[in-house]
Amino acid sequence: MHILEHLFLVGEFPERTHLLSGLTLEQVTLCPNGASHSIYEELWHVVAYQQSIIEPGDPAGERFPSAAPEHEHQWHDLVRRFLDGARAAAALGQAPERLALEVEPGLTLADELNSVAVHNAYHLGKIVALRQRIGAWPPMAASNPS
């Protein structure tokens, strides 16, 4: 297993598919007292940043969504986008020559991916904390598509 697969999909804390599984629309849109964002908003933010590195060239958009999802499939679609992006990031580990390319002077793609992995870990930790606060941790079933 390459380190990027470990960082983006399976290592250090629960597998990302498991961490995001078993949530309802009501749970992912709930923002408990004192929390700055809902689970949906946290993951939306992660996806936006992750995609800006995996697929550079897209204009930077909002940092968080402007509206909550209205249908549960929107949550599942977001989880799928996150996991697809995480798999794409991990797959870059199979192309060491690409990882060594400078994306900015003195900054390689490997450096950028490490930053994304740290950013993801921070927000996924917030998602776990939100799940704990609303009584939805640990996940009981893997109902989200992967």
- Would you kindly state where each structural domain of the chain is located, as residue ranges? 3-57+69-133
Examine the pLDDT at 143 and tell me if it is beyond 50. Answer: no
Average pLDDT of the residues of the chain:
92
pLDDT tops 50 at residue 76: yes
What pLDDT, on a 0 to 100 scale, did the predictor assign at position 63? Answer: 86
Share of the chain above pLDDT 70, in %: 93
Task: Examine the pLDDT at 5 and tell me if it is beyond 60.
Answer: yes
Asked whether residue 2 carries a pLDDT value surpassing 90, the answer given is no
Q: What are phi and psi of 91, to 5 degrees?
A: -65, -25
Long-range contacts, stretch 35-43, CB < 8 angstroms, 24+ apart? 35/130, 35/133, 37/64, 37/126, 38/68, 38/130, 39/127, 39/130, 39/131, 40/65, 40/68, 40/69, 40/75, 40/78, 41/65, 42/123, 42/126, 42/127, 42/130, 43/78, 43/79, 43/82, 43/123, 43/127
CATH number of the domain located at residue range(s) 3-57+69-133 in this protein: 1.20.120
Residue 113 has pLDDT above 50, yes or no: yes
d(CA 70, CA 91): 32
pLDDT tens, residue by residue, 37-61: 999 999 999 999 999 998 877 666 7
Return the residue matching tokens 């408990």: 32
Number of residues that this document lists for the chain: 146
Q: What is the pTM of this model?
A: 0.91
**In the predicted structure, residue 145 carries a pLDDT above the cut 70:** no
Q: What is the pLDDT of residue 58?
A: 62
